[in-house]
Amino acid sequence: MITAVVFDMDGVLIDSEQVWDDVREALARERGGRWHERAQRDMMGMSSTEWSRYMHERIGLAEPPEEINRVVVERMVERYADGPPWVPGAIDAVRRLAGVFVLGLASSSNRELIDGVLEAGGIAGLFAGTVSSEEVAAGKPAPDVYVEAARLIGVEPSACAAVEDSHNGIRAAKAAGMRCVAIPNARFPPGADALAEADVVLESLAELTADVLA
């Protein structure tokens, strides 16, 4: 029986994958990096430690990963200054499900961004626990961030449904032993093999109801 819902954030609650892509690509080109078309897909789901290392080692930025991470997050905060780019229906979906399930959040975003987004939407208090992948050993597709989210909200992973949009996110949720509802990201869609692992595939958050999750 599903008693908890664990949301991803980027691509599920906020339409931010393209923002991350724009910010990291701009930095790479400013600093003489070797940007390529697979870079954003490669980094989706990585923790800040992992993607900043990727930008240093694979994209070729001279700055150390810690500095790359600092600059990118600073620019992301600036991009959210006028309000996060909410996915249509995101806030309503969170409020709707909060009346039925325990809610958690398992995100690859940095802690500063998670807290800022949830506060901006007035929904921070609806989540029993939130986890950034920078707070666990490995980012998605490793299950760590979902396992930790389940621990924080006090629900076994098998009683949780994860809501995901990405290839690595679906893989992470399933590896954690959760039911997975996929709402594929339109710009960076999950591969067919990952999508086949999802228990349910929806077109939008409007379809995300208690009945679907049950």
Q: Are strands 200-201 and 179-182 parallel, antiparallel or unpaired?
A: parallel
Q: Note whether 102 and 119 are same-domain residues.
A: yes
Token pair of 143 as six digits: 């299950």
Domain containing residue 58: CATH number: 1.10.150
Per-residue pLDDT at 86 exceeds 90 = yes
Q: Note whether 112 and 186 are same-domain residues.
A: yes
Report the domain count for the chain.
2
Q: Note whether 75 and 88 are same-domain residues.
A: no
Q: Note whether 53 and 138 are same-domain residues.
A: no
Distance between terminal CA atoms of the chain?
7
Span 68-73, average pLDDT: 96
- Split at pLDDT 50, 70, 90, the class of 41 is confident
Which residues, other chains included, contact 93 with Cβ-Cβ below 8 Å and sequence gap of 6+?
205, 206, 208
Token pair of 185 as six digits: 């990201």
Q: Note whether 99 and 64 are same-domain residues.
A: no
Q: Note whether 132 and 184 are same-domain residues.
A: yes
Q: Note whether 75 and 106 are same-domain residues.
A: no
Q: Note whether 94 and 197 are same-domain residues.
A: yes
Q: Note whether 140 and 163 are same-domain residues.
A: yes
- Please provide residue 107's backbone torsions phi and psi, each rounded to the nearest 5 degrees: -125, 150
Domain containing residue 101: CATH number: 3.40.50.1000
The whole domain housing 200 covers: 4-15+84-213
| Last residue of one domain, picked from the residues 79, 105, 128 | 79
Q: Is the pTM of this model over 0.85?
A: yes
Per-residue pLDDT at 6: 98
Q: Note whether 147 and 42 are same-domain residues.
A: no
Q: Note whether 72 and 172 are same-domain residues.
A: no
| Last residue of one domain, picked from the residues 59, 79, 99 | 79
Closest CA to 109 of 83, 139, 149: 139
What are the tens digits of pLDDT across the range 72-82?
Answer: 999 999 999 99
Q: Note whether 29 and 56 are same-domain residues.
A: yes
Average pLDDT, the chain: 95
